[in-house]
Structure 1
Amino acid sequence: MSAPLPLSPDALADRLAALLAATPPEAGATAVRVALDGPDVAAPERLAAQVADRLPALGRSTLVVPAVGFLRPASVRLEHGRTDPDARYTDWLDVAGLGREVLDRVGPGGPGDVLPQLWDVERDRATRAARVPAAAVVLVPGALLQGVGLAFDVVVHLRVSGPARRRRFPAEQQWELPAFDRYDDEVDPAALADLVVLADHADRPALVVQGRYA
C-alpha cells in the first residue's frame, strides 16, 4: 500500500487513466472490467467520464456502463418503503443482471458485446436496449459494488469516511447512511480495492495504490 498521494481532480483522472491503460485484460477476455465504487457524493460517474475521455489518447478504447442502469424494479427495491437502508444495501442492484449482461460477456470466453442498460429507473421498465461492442476498458461507476461476487478485474474505491458522509449527503439521502455504514463494517471496501481515492473533500482527492498495483 502506498502513502496517500494528494492530487488535483484532473491529475487524479490522468493517473487513473495511465494505470488502466497499462493493465492487460485477463487471458481470453475482451476488456479490462473496472469498478468505480463510491456513493453519489463522490461522483463516480463523473470520474468515470473523465477517465474515459483520457484513455483513447493512451491507446485504449473505453465504454462507461453506469450501475444505475442495472437497478432492480421498484416492486423489489421499494418493497419495504422508499427509505429502507437495509433494502438499499441488499435489494437495489441487479447483481445477476450486471454480471450476465456486462461483466461476463467481456470476461474470458464471453462474446465481447454488452447491454449498456437493462432497467430504466424513471419509467420502471426494461429498456430494450441493443447490445453494443465492448471497448478495451469497461468502466462501471456506482455504489456498493464490492462484496457481491461481481467479476471486476480492477476496483477503484472512492472512499468517503463516515463523518464526511454525514456532512456531505444531502438531506433527501441521509436515510442511506446506515447502508454505507454497514458496507464499511461488513465488506471493508477500501481494503479490498486496488486503488482507493480518498474523497472526503471533492476538490482535494488523494490516491492510495494497493492490490494489484502495489
Structure 2
Amino acid sequence: MRFEPITWPRLARTLAAHADGLEPADEGSWLRIGVDGAPAARPEEAAAHLAAALRSRGRPVLTVSTAGFLRPASLRYEYGKEDPDSYADGWFDTGALWREVFRPLEAGGSGRVLPDLWNPDTDRATRSPYQVLPEGGVLILHGPLLLGRWFPFDLTVHLSLTPGALRRRTEESERWTLPAFERYETETDPAGASDTVVRADDPHRPAWTGLGG
C-alpha cells in the first residue's frame, strides 16, 4: 500500500469534493460517511475537518460520535472493565446506531437523527433532542471499530496507525484495548474494507492512499 503526504485540510477538501459526486447507495436523500479510527488516531478531528469542508461547499452536515452510543455500564463491564473482547464486541450500541442514526436516513426516511444516546460518565440517557438533517445533507459517523458491521456508508475513511504508533499514542490507562484493535486488523482488515486509508502515525504529517486505495 503506497502512501502520499497530504495535509488534513487538503485531505478534507479532496474528500468533500469527491462526496459531491456521490449518490447514496440506497437512492435516498442523505450521504453517509464513516471516519474509522482508534481513539489514538483522533477520528473526531478528521471528522471535524471534513465537516467544515463540506459545509464550505453548501452541504448540511451532522457529525455523530460512537462515544455517544455506548451501552450501559452493566453491559459493558459484564466481563470486567478491561476486557478487550467486550470492548470489541459489546461496548458500542450498534442496534441504537441503526435505529436512531441510519434508519432515519434511509430512502423515504424522516431525517430525524438522535445525535447521542448514553452518557458514560453518568451512566444515564443523555435525553438529547433529535436533530433534523435536511435532504441532501451528509452524516459523518466517527469512532473506532466502525467497519465490518454492515453500516450503510457511502464513503469510508480509515485512519491507520502502525502497531508501534498505536501503542505509543494510546494512553497507558487505555492500552488494555490494544488486543481489540489487533483483532480488528485480523478479522476485518479495515484498510482493505475502506475507500481510502490515512496513515496517522504523526498527527501533524498524515499520508494517504488516495481514493480507492
TM-score, normalised on structure 1? 0.92
Q: Which runs of 5+ in 1 are unaligned?
A: none
> Structure 1 residues 108 and 170 mapped into 2: Cα distance closer, same or farther (>3 Å)?
same
Q: Does 1:48 align with 2:53?
A: no
Larger mean CA deviation between 8-17 and 196-205 belongs to 8-17
Cα distance in 2 for residues equivalent to 1:161 and 1:29: 37
Instruction: Report what 2:8 is aligned to.
Output: 9
Instruction: Report what 1:60 is aligned to.
Output: 59
Cα deviation digits, residues 91-150 of structure 1 (max 9, x gap) = 111011001110121122322211111111111111222211114110001000111222
Instruction: Report what 2:175 is aligned to.
Output: 174
Q: Are 1:37 and 1:143, in contact at CA under 8 Å, matched by a contact in 2? A: yes
Q: Are 2:8 and 2:49, in contact at CA under 8 Å, matched by a contact in 1? A: no
Q: Does 1:191 align with 2:192?
A: yes
Percent identity over the alignment is 42
Q: Are 2:66 and 2:141, in contact at CA under 8 Å, matched by a contact in 1? A: yes
Q: Are 2:16 and 2:50, in contact at CA under 8 Å, matched by a contact in 1? A: yes
Cα distance in 1 for residues equivalent to 2:3 and 2:26: 31
Cα distance in 1 for residues equivalent to 2:171 and 2:33: 27
Cα distance in 2 for residues equivalent to 1:161 and 1:107: 35
Q: Does 1:37 align with 2:36?
A: yes
Q: Which runs of 5+ in 2 are unaligned?
A: none
Instruction: Report what 2:148 is aligned to.
Output: 147
User: What is the Cα deviation at residue 173 of structure 1?
Assistant: 1.2
Cα distance in 2 for residues equivalent to 1:168 and 1:133: 36
Instruction: Report what 1:108 is aligned to.
Output: 107
Q: Helix, strand or coil: the match of 2:12?
A: helix
Instruction: Report what 1:78 is aligned to.
Output: 77
Cα distance in 1 for residues equivalent to 2:24 and 2:90: 30
Cα distance in 2 for residues equivalent to 1:22 and 1:159: 25
Q: Which amino acid aligns with 2:172?
A: A
Across the aligned residues of Structure 1 and Structure 2, the Cα RMSD in angstroms comes to 1.6
Cα distance in 1 for residues equivalent to 2:19 and 2:27: 18
Q: Does 1:209 align with 2:210?
A: yes
Q: Does 1:164 align with 2:165?
A: yes
Cα distance in 2 for residues equivalent to 1:117 and 1:99: 12
Cα distance in 1 for residues equivalent to 2:39 and 2:20: 25
Larger mean CA deviation between 10-19 and 115-124 belongs to 10-19
Q: Which amino acid aligns with 1:184?
A: E
Cα distance in 2 for residues equivalent to 1:28 and 1:21: 15
How many residue pairs were aligned? 211
Instruction: Report what 1:99 is aligned to.
Output: 98
TM-score, normalised on structure 2? 0.93
Cα distance in 1 for residues equivalent to 2:148 and 2:23: 23
Q: Helix, strand or coil: the match of 1:24?
A: coil
Q: Helix, strand or coil: the match of 2:158?
A: strand
Q: Displaced runs of 4+ in structure 1, greater than 6 A?
A: none
